[in-house]
Amino acid sequence: MTDRLRIAHCSDIHLGANGAGAADPCRARFARALDAMAADRPDLMLLAGDLFDTNSVGDDTVAFAMEALARLPFPVAMIPGNHDCLADDAVFRRHDFGRIANLRLLADAAGGSAVLPELGVSVWGKGMVEHSRDFRPLAGSPKRPEGIRWHLGMGHGLFVPRGEASERSSPIRMEEIEAAGFDYLALGHHHAAMELVTPSATAAYSGSPTDDVGRGATYAIVDLAAGAAPTLAIRVVG
């Protein structure tokens, strides 16, 4: 079953942004988004950073997130963002997300890949340690690994259009997106959805499903198929 692949992509959930416990509206909105994504029956989900609003979120918020992700009937690959980056007190250092059977956290500062052989998938991503001008989310991304059908990537940072200069933190340049050669690149950081499709790249910011900026609370569904152009849809959570 590797001639087609359906990806659900979301980012920027920011759990804990609006208080703790069940009163945090991000919890209910994330749960609704996960239900909507599951109804689309993806083969896997990519979560492109900022699951948490801060590294100081409480244990109950972490437990909520872990349980919500562990319950999904498909694999999940995830990177940290700038709000939950790999600082010394990082939420991803304090809690062992590796014990969630269907989750792969890509937290290596030099970049690393999760291989899902049953899907023919490799997903590459990098663990942000510090949101700075020196952090380049796509630098060092690998060529398509041997024997891999679907070469996927993730990045968390600021989009820089073709030909523009930027002094901002964690820049992701259009030229880098096109050079990386991913079948799909799942991006996070901008809370408004943004498709970045050219003859040589299919990438997107999914937008945040817990924020109403732009087109509203959104996620992305991507369909890849052998011999066909990828299709990318931004879905609004009702």
Q: Per rule CB under 5 A, is residue 75 in the interface with Mn ion?
A: no
Q: Which of residues 86-115 bind Mn ion (CB under 5 A)?
A: none
Q: How far is the CB of 200 from Mn ion (least distance, A)?
A: 26
Cβ(69)–Cβ(102) under 8 Å?
yes
- Decide if residue 81 touches Mn ion (CB under 5 A): yes
Residue whose CB is nearest to Mn ion in the complex, by number: 189
Query: Which lies closer to Mn ion via its Cβ, residue 82 or residue 113?
Result: 82
Say whether residue 61 binds Mn ion (CB under 5 A): no
**CB of 82 or CB of 141, closer to Mn ion:** 82
How many positions of this chain bind Mn ion (CB under 5 A)? 4
Stretch that binds Mn ion, among 74-82, 102-110, 203-211, 230-238 (CB under 5 A): 74-82
Minimum CB separation of residue 51 from Mn ion in Å reads 10
How far is Cα 108 from Cα 75, in angstroms, rounded to an integer? 19
Question: Measured from the CB of residue 82, what is the shortest distance to Mn ion in angstroms?
Answer: 4
Instruction: Catalogue the long-range contacts made by 170-177 (C-beta closer than 8 Å, 24 or more residues apart).
Output: 170/82, 170/128, 170/131, 170/132, 170/135, 170/136, 170/137, 171/133, 171/136, 171/137, 172/137, 172/138, 173/138, 174/198, 176/136, 176/138, 176/139, 177/138, 177/201, 177/203
* Binding status of residue 50 toward Mn ion by CB under 5 A: yes
Query: Would you say 90 or 116 has its CB closer to Mn ion?
Result: 90
Cβ proximity to Mn ion: between 10 and 148 the closer is: 10
Residues 133-192 within binding reach of Mn ion (CB under 5 A): 189
**Least Å distance between CB 65 and Mn ion?**
16
Largest distance between two CA atoms of the chain: 47
Say how far apart CA 55 and CA 13 lie, in whole Å. Answer: 14
Report the residue number, 121 or 196, with the smaller CB distance to Mn ion: 196
In this structure, what token pair is assigned to residue 177? 């997106």
Stretch that binds Mn ion, among 77-85, 93-101, 118-126, 160-168 (CB under 5 A): 77-85
Contact residues toward Mn ion (CB under 5 A) are 50, 81-82, 189
